[in-house]
Structure 1
Amino acid sequence: MDDVIIIGGSFAGLAAALQLGRARRKVTVLDTGLPRNRFADHSHGLLGHDHKPPLEILAEARQQLARYPTIKLVNARADSISGAIDNFFVLTADGESLAARRLILSYGVADQMPDVPGFIEGWGSTIVPCPYCDGFEVAGRHWGLIWSGPLSHNYVRLYKDWTDTLTVFANGHDIPSDIRADLARRNIPVVDGLITEIDHYESHNATVKLDAGSHVAVDILFAHPHNKPSASLHESLDLATVTTPFGIALQVDERRETSIPGIYAAGDLANPLMASVTTASWQGAIAGISAQQSMLV
């Protein structure tokens, strides 16, 4: 029996494994090799790894974990979970049954792309969600924002630290008159109509096409599609969740423990605020340490 099984081997899962391996706890990490940020050319804002490809950072992390004999990395999908604290069972898609005293869920979320030609092709390069991740590289240039709801008004104010040139695409949303007045006061144009296509010419260059036939060119386009957990294990466990503007997240306490004792969660799956590599890593570390300390006698 393992001490801990970690389901999901991206930044949160590997950070948890590192802490547990250094405590000489027996750990198995199950991973399908599809991290959320695999579409991004570079990862930014991670101390010591700024502007490095995220897949390169993860590959280096796996190589470093190899020096810990109690950590086992397995390319497999977890299909089901049963049991209770000190006696959990995980069944993989290959039919293997694994047992552990604790579980850490870090299988992340998957972004739900809109059915707009060119959106998926530009995701992670021309179309991005986070100014902290990509804003510096396009600072001072013409940004576009696809309106997604009330939070978009805050994004307008946030982006001011990076650019003075911003165009808002309403994309069918009914933006209230008082917000439109505030956007006008800030000299931010609003383009009405539905987006029908997005053309890409370079990594930071896009033309937004609208149903009225007009075209608007921007250097970078910010969008915030909804997301959903990358697996449904939390549903079968009936774990408590919280609602976010973009989907759901698992409810955890300050130790990253879920509503079921012995099951912890970290990374985008349990982050209702701002997703990033940095937050996923520290949450994974806390989950690993908390799981280890919960087994002390």
Structure 2
Amino acid sequence: MTYDAIVVGGSYAGLSAALQLARARRRVLVVDAGVRRNRFASATHGFLTQDGSDPGAVTAEGRAQLMEYDTVDWLSGTAESAAKAGGGFVVSVQGREPLLGRCLVLATGVRDQLPDVPGLAERWGRRVFHCPYCHGYELQQGRIGVLATSPMSVHQALMLPDWGPTTFLLNGVLEPDREQAEALKARGVTIEPGRIDRLEGEGLDVVMHDGRILPFQGLFVAARSVLASPLSGQLGCAVEEGPLGTCIKTDPIKATTVAGVFACGDAARMAGNVALAVGDGAIAGAAAHRFLMGMAF
């Protein structure tokens, strides 16, 4: 069978893209490895009608609604390779026959590269976060730390005082220049120049090398991200490098530089957010449908 579209990735963006195609009565296959980026978080926030919901429950409900459309198939597995084939594309999943599609939607996500601080990875998504809009409100204006990882961390430290008293932990990574230091002071940010030894405690205690313990309600990290799947590279899609990592280059309708390949969600934008991923998917799904029609968007 040749599908009209193969959507690789069944999280928020992929589900949204597939839904648009299903509602256009197109034959769609969703290939999903079952690894959501926000699987470590207990709740999703800032997503209209789903604020505070369990992230896994949101995607489960999305899948259940999608599968009500009889033109949609679902395949659990990891897409290992993709290539052009005739007038379409072939996708390989381990242990399966090659899958054929007239177009592709890549909603393959990213992996976060976390700083090598003992105790940090275990608290990712619970006490250590990347997005204040997603997690800042729940800290109830308690003490907040921002861990320096790159020059982008200065921007993050300037944002966080709206959610609570903020300390900028330099950890030997950077030194704010005069203008940055003045801006941080104006926002009420405390600068901590010392080095961190580890994170510990049931809450979040930052243990410094000199033995001091700095307690926080939450810690924010501007982590870099890398593409979670090699498919875009195999297909020849251009990528973009930014201060927070790599993403697949797309135009305003989520088309990549390869005709017939669309990309959406965290793999195709620098900002990670559930609501943005869903919107991205809707655009990509509609654009893929237009491509199948042979029409410009």
TM-score tier (shorter): over 0.9
SS of 1:49 mapped into structure 2: coil
The amino acid that maps onto 1:174 is: L
CA distance in structure 1 between the partners assigned to 2:10 and 2:231 by the alignment: 15
Contact 1:85 1:101 survives alignment (8 Å)? no
Contact 1:86 1:102 survives alignment (8 Å)? no
CA offset digits 1:134-155 (Å, max 9, x no partner)? 1111132111100122222222
CA distance in structure 1 between the partners assigned to 2:109 and 2:232 by the alignment: 11
Distance apart, 1:116 and its partner CA? 2.0
TM alignment of 1:1-297, pairs within 5 A: 1-83=2-84, 86-163=87-164, 165-178=165-178, 179-201=180-202, 205-272=203-270, 274-296=271-293
CA distance in structure 1 between the partners assigned to 2:4 and 2:187 by the alignment: 55
Kindly tell me: are residues 85 and 153 of structure 1, through their superposed partners in 2, closer, same or farther at Cα, counting changes over 3 Å?
farther
Kindly tell me: are residues 206 and 63 of structure 1, through their superposed partners in 2, closer, same or farther at Cα, counting changes over 3 Å?
same
CA distance in structure 1 between the partners assigned to 2:177 and 2:8 by the alignment: 46
Taking only the aligned residue pairs, the percentage that are identical comes to 35
The amino acid that maps onto 1:196 is: D
SS of 1:110 mapped into structure 2: strand
CA distance in structure 2 between the partners assigned to 1:66 and 1:174 by the alignment: 49
CA offset digits 1:24-79 (Å, max 9, x no partner)? 10000000100000000000011111100110100111111121001111101111
Distance apart, 1:224 and its partner CA? 1.7
Distance apart, 1:83 and its partner CA? 1.4
CA offset digits 1:79-115 (Å, max 9, x no partner)? 1111157321111122420001000001100111233
Distance apart, 1:255 and its partner CA? 1.3
Distance apart, 1:231 and its partner CA? 1.1
Kindly tell me: are residues 85 and 21 of structure 1, through their superposed partners in 2, closer, same or farther at Cα, counting changes over 3 Å?
farther
Contact 1:85 1:261 survives alignment (8 Å)? no
Q: Which runs of 4+ in 1 moved over 6 A?
A: none
Gaps of 5+ in 2: none
TM-score normalised by the chain length of structure 1: 0.94
SS of 2:275 mapped into structure 1: helix
Gaps of 5+ in 1: none
SS of 2:289 mapped into structure 1: helix
CA distance in structure 2 between the partners assigned to 1:104 and 1:223 by the alignment: 30
Kindly tell me: are residues 256 and 185 of structure 1, through their superposed partners in 2, closer, same or farther at Cα, counting changes over 3 Å?
closer
Deviates more, 1:153-162 or 1:36-45: 153-162
CA distance in structure 2 between the partners assigned to 1:24 and 1:70 by the alignment: 7
SS of 1:38 mapped into structure 2: coil
SS of 1:173 mapped into structure 2: coil
The amino acid that maps onto 1:253 is: D
CA distance in structure 1 between the partners assigned to 2:212 and 2:86 by the alignment: 59
Deviates more, 1:33-42 or 1:208-217: 208-217
Contact 1:76 1:94 survives alignment (8 Å)? no
CA distance in structure 1 between the partners assigned to 2:86 and 2:264 by the alignment: 18
Deviates more, 1:118-127 or 1:189-198: 189-198
